Amino acid sequence: MKTELDKCLAGEWYDCHDPIFLEYKQNARALLREYNALEYDQKVRKTEILKALFARIGDNVSVGLPFICDYGCNITLGNNVSINMNCTLVDCNKITIGNNVLIASNVQMYTATHPVELADRLTPGWNPDSGEYFCRTYALPITIGDGCWIGGGVIILPGVTIGNGTVIGAGSVVTKDIPDNCVAVGNPCRVIRKINGEQDAIFSSGGGK
């Protein structure tokens, strides 16, 4: 029988108030309270907290303050990743960020979502004493490939994969997958041009500046 965590990671409806998720949230909140209160130059302690918060972080990673996430334990960062100030990662499902990635200020990534149809969105037979949440929730993973640059204020919706070497213009709302090596902008985000594919070798190696 599937646990609520199994259902969540499989992209199925799940109970977001199950004790495992409340534990994740409590742990993340405690770590974030300390992290967001640190001074700019307290880099050693910042790294220690990020290692405790995230599933994995690579080398040369910086996450600007303030930073918000839901569980933390579903976030994986590669090498040479810069996340600027005031970013929000709602990691109910996996958020995987590759090597050599730049994420500008105010970027939001949402793995959690709800059914569009009201009849599906509301929990059947719900009542306040049931212990259930009044609406149904599910979550889909987000993947950011190697060598991406995500511009300021970008919103990335559940289930989206952004390919290696791709640049997402500021203010875009990414509703669908974006392929490798392109510039994509707008709401909804669309490809406007390709980028030289020769950079693939640099991005996938974890090298570069």
Task: Please give the model's pTM, rounded to 2 decimal places.
Answer: 0.91
Q: Which residues of 67-78 are buried (b: 16+ CB within 10 A; e: fewer)?
A: bebbbbbbbbbb
On the question of pLDDT at 164 being above 90, the answer is: yes
How large is the average pLDDT for residues 100-115? 97
Q: Copy the structure tokens of residue 51.
A: 């290692």
pLDDT at 197: 58
Closest to 92 (Cα-Cα) out of 10, 174, 188, 2 = 10
Q: What is the pLDDT of residues 26-47, one digit of tens each?
A: 999 999 999 999 999 999 999 9
pLDDT value at residue 52: 98
Q: What are the chain's domains? A: 4-205 (2.160.10.10)
pLDDT band at 205 (very low <50, low <70, confident <90, very high): very low
Residue 186 has pLDDT above 90, yes or no: yes
**114 belongs to the catalytic site:** yes
Q: How high does pLDDT run on average in the chain?
A: 92
* pLDDT on residue 95: 98
The mean-pLDDT minimum among 9-13, 106-110, 120-124, 171-175 falls in 120-124
Classify the phi-psi angles of 8: left when phi > 0, otherwise alpha if psi is within -120 to 50, otherwise beta: alpha
pLDDT higher than threshold 60 for residue 144: yes
More confident residue, 138 or 201: 138
Element (H, E) at 176: none
**pLDDT at residue 129, rounded to an integer:** 76
C-alpha 105/C-alpha 87 separation (Å) is 6
Does 184 score more than 80 pLDDT?
A: yes
Of 114, 169, 170, 195, the catalytic one is: 114
Instruction: Report helix, strand or coil for 160.
Output: coil
Model confidence at 24: pLDDT above 70? yes
**pLDDT in the model for residue 201:** 43
Q: How confident is the model at residue 158 (pLDDT cuts 50, 70, 90)?
A: very high
More reliable by pLDDT, 125 or 1: 1
**What's the CA gap between 89 and 147, in Å, rounded?**
19
φ and ψ at residue 153, rounded to 5 degrees:
75, 10
